[in-house]
Structure 1
Amino acid sequence: MIVKDIIKQLEDLAPLAYAEEFDNVGLLVGHKDMEISGVLITLDTLPEVVDEAIATNCNLIVSFHPIIFKGLKSITGKTYVERVVQKAIKHDIAIFAIHTALDNAFEGVNAEICNRLNLINKSILMPQSGTVKKLTTFVPHTDAEMVRTALFEAGGGALGNYENCSFNSQGIGTFEGNSEAQPAIGKPNELKSVEETRIDIVYAKHLESGILNALFQAHPYEEVAHELFTLENKNHHIGMGMIGELEDPMSETDFLTFVKQTMKCEIIRHSKQLEHPIKKVAVLGGSGSFAISAAKAAGADAFVTSDLKYHDFFRAENQILLMDIGHYESEQYTKNLLASYLKKKIPNFAVLLSKINTNPVKYK
């Protein structure tokens, strides 16, 4: 097992292509071809976590948060970030971060919160745009089925709960190759008219390289005519936050107590109680103030998130119960999610859950 094997498994769960632009995800320290002795899963990569990896013979740390977020101008050990990088390099330990790629994944951070809170009928709160693409290509009638099949096998034509989706139309294509051409139909310097099928398929943007490779391998033409488009359609399986429903409504007081106990919170900061039952619940792990409007627009009775500022609570406007459960508390089970996922994918390999509580916030 090498590092890129683990990365492949993690990208099946949360493709890095869907991480936010500000983020720094992926392999941050180490080499993708390094052989792995064990994997340690953590929320944050701190110096003591690297010590734990050394002690447990794990030379790959899979971290939710990236230890390197902004560029390092020196590595002298003057900050905890530099000390982590120094120690990891010294002991040949690779560090991989998944962060907002997992935030945006349908079975990622927010799905884990929904599962912990027993929410049903979950869906993405803020679907990501720019993630659905379309391919148009033109193929001789006789080769259309072969090309379509290749595109489908590469993941093209999948739309929500449907697969093998395409639109096909008939027409006449013309071309004339020069003296250097090697046309599949006709001869160089000869104008040809060919009955062709136009094939249109949609695909998820992280599959683009595989889609194009399948097209070029299956298509009979020397020069493959094709067009790529980024669609404005929202991808309802990728995005920030989730919304779901409690099977049975709860009072606000009972729901606050339930969340506090389930998410192991020392304290919950919340907006004014409205004396309304809680049925529909929005969640967003980590800093979620940017999603307050989306939670209200979705008709959520409560919004569970963290890092709300003083003025954010005014934005409840007697429409929703805003709940700040703490940044660490909202994301703490992410490492359990990752560990469980990798153990299922590679059951006979050492995947360990870090025992270190990396929460920097203390309460008195």
Structure 2
Amino acid sequence: DAGAGIIGGYNECAFLGMGIGQFCGGPETKPTVGVPNKNTAVEEVRLEMVAPRDKLAAIAAAIRNAHSYEEPAVDIYPLIATHTATGQGRVGKLSRGVTAATLIAKIRKALGVDKVLVAGDPKSRTKVEIAAVGAGSCGSMWKGAAAAGATFYLTGEMRHHDALAAAAAGLTCVCVGHSNSERIALAKLAARVKSTHPQLETILSKIDRDPFQIV
């Protein structure tokens, strides 16, 4: 109940390993097995579970409260992602080549914005075959997009010199605003939270807006 052992839609996920535990309690201890001042070896089960970082303290407290030992051993190991080929953004090949102007029009309609910032030539007749996207403050990732073969890059915001360099390299960069580039994912994120945590009330904001206005 403290929050450990949850992986996706599965609960009570754990790995159990049998082994021999050894200990020697001091004169003031009250061991569950054995007596003080004497080495004791007993069969034990090592229980491993994943746990969210923000619930570690509550989970450790629950283990100590439920365990029969005076001093149960609780080890916490941070997990490190090994998917080094997975980055923050995405690069994809379009089903058919289209102009930058066509893509910009689709982006404005999908995001519900009237204006966007464009670095590069928005009226170029060259067809875009490969496009990249990096939401939020991913403007500095334009080099990765270009290296992957993209000629069109959609992001939230971009620094002045990054925009100049990207345009000089032949990349058309479109900045739609930080929150505008992320808000489109909220509905899908809310649906995912509802499916994985049905016990929680999920509320999708109706007042969230970009803090900037073009006047």
Q: TM-score, normalised by structure 2?
A: 0.66
Which amino acid letter does the alignment assign opposite residue 277 of structure 1?
V
Which of residues 174, 182, 185 in structure 2 aligns to 1:323?
174
Give the Cα–Cα distance (whole angstroms) in 1 for the partners of residues 168 and 9 of structure 2: 37
State the Cα deviation string for residues 284-316 of structure 1 (Å, max 9, x = none): 13x322333454566656432233233212146
Write the mapping of 1:148-159 to structure 2, written as runs, cut at 5 A. 154-156=3-5, 158=7
* Other-structure match for 1:362: 214
Bigger relative contact order, structure 1 or 2, given CA contacts below 8 A and separation 6+?
A: 1
Q: Is the 8 A contact 2:154 2:174 kept in 1?
A: yes
Q: Which moved more, 1:161-170 or 1:193-202?
A: 161-170
Query: Secondary structure of the residue that 1:345 maps to in structure 2?
Result: coil
Give the Cα–Cα distance (whole angstroms) in 1 for the partners of residues 151 and 201 of structure 2: 37
Which amino acid letter does the alignment assign opposite residue 154 of structure 1?
G
Which amino acid letter does the alignment assign opposite residue 46 of structure 2?
R
- Change in CA separation of 1:214 and 1:235 when aligned onto 2, cut-off 3 Å: farther
Write the mapping of 1:128-139 to structure 2, written as runs, cut at 5 A. none
Query: Secondary structure of the residue that 1:227 maps to in structure 2?
Result: coil
* Other-structure match for 1:290: 140
* Other-structure match for 1:267: 116
State the Cα deviation string for residues 136-179 of structure 1 (Å, max 9, x = none): xxxxxxxxxxxxxx7xx723363x68765544433221112123
Give 5+ residue unaligned stretches, structure 1: 1-149
Give the Cα–Cα distance (whole angstroms) in 1 for the partners of residues 16 and 170 of structure 2: 48
**Percent identical residues:** 23
Write the mapping of 1:87-166 to structure 2, written as runs, cut at 5 A. 154-156=3-5, 158=7, 166=14
Give the Cα–Cα distance (whole angstroms) in 1 for the partners of residues 152 and 117 of structure 2: 13
Shift of 1:274: 8.6
Shift of 1:198: 2.8
Q: Is the 8 A contact 2:23 2:39 kept in 1?
A: yes
- Change in CA separation of 1:201 and 1:294 when aligned onto 2, cut-off 3 Å: farther
Aligned length: 203
Give the structure with the higher percent strand.
1
Q: Is the 8 A contact 2:180 2:210 kept in 1?
A: no
Give the Cα–Cα distance (whole angstroms) in 2 for the partners of residues 184 and 248 of structure 1: 67
Which amino acid letter does the alignment assign opposite residue 192 of structure 1?
T
Q: Which moved more, 1:305-314 or 1:273-282?
A: 273-282
Query: Secondary structure of the residue that 1:193 maps to in structure 2?
Result: strand
Larger Rg: 2
State the Cα deviation string for residues 206-250 of structure 1 (Å, max 9, x = none): 3322332332233321101122222332589xx995537688445
Are 1:173 and 2:16 counterparts? no
Give the Cα–Cα distance (whole angstroms) in 2 for the partners of residues 226 and 319 of structure 1: 55
Give 5+ residue unaligned stretches, structure 2: 195-199
Query: Secondary structure of the residue that 2:45 maps to in structure 1?
Result: strand
Give the structure with the higher percent helix.
1
- Change in CA separation of 1:173 and 1:338 when aligned onto 2, cut-off 3 Å: closer
Which of residues 102, 105, 111 in structure 2 aligns to 1:257?
105
* Other-structure match for 2:197: none
Give the Cα–Cα distance (whole angstroms) in 2 for the partners of residues 235 and 212 of structure 1: 29
RMSD over aligned CA atoms reads 4.4
Query: Secondary structure of the residue that 1:229 maps to in structure 2?
Result: coil
Query: Secondary structure of the residue that 1:172 maps to in structure 2?
Result: strand
Q: Is the 8 A contact 1:255 1:278 kept in 2?
A: no
Which of residues 17, 33, 38 in structure 2 aligns to 1:185?
33
Shift of 1:328: 5.5
Q: Is the 8 A contact 1:271 1:316 kept in 2?
A: yes
Shift of 1:194: 0.6
Write the mapping of 1:1-364 to structure 2, written as runs, cut at 5 A. 154-156=3-5, 158=7, 166-233=14-81, 241-243=88-90, 248-249=95-96, 251=98, 252-263=100-111, 264-272=113-121, 275-278=126-129, 280-285=131-136, 287-296=137-146, 302-313=152-163, 314-315=165-166, 318=169, 320-327=171-178, 329-330=180-181, 345=201, 353-354=206-207, 359-363=211-215
Q: Is the 8 A contact 1:265 1:326 kept in 2?
A: no
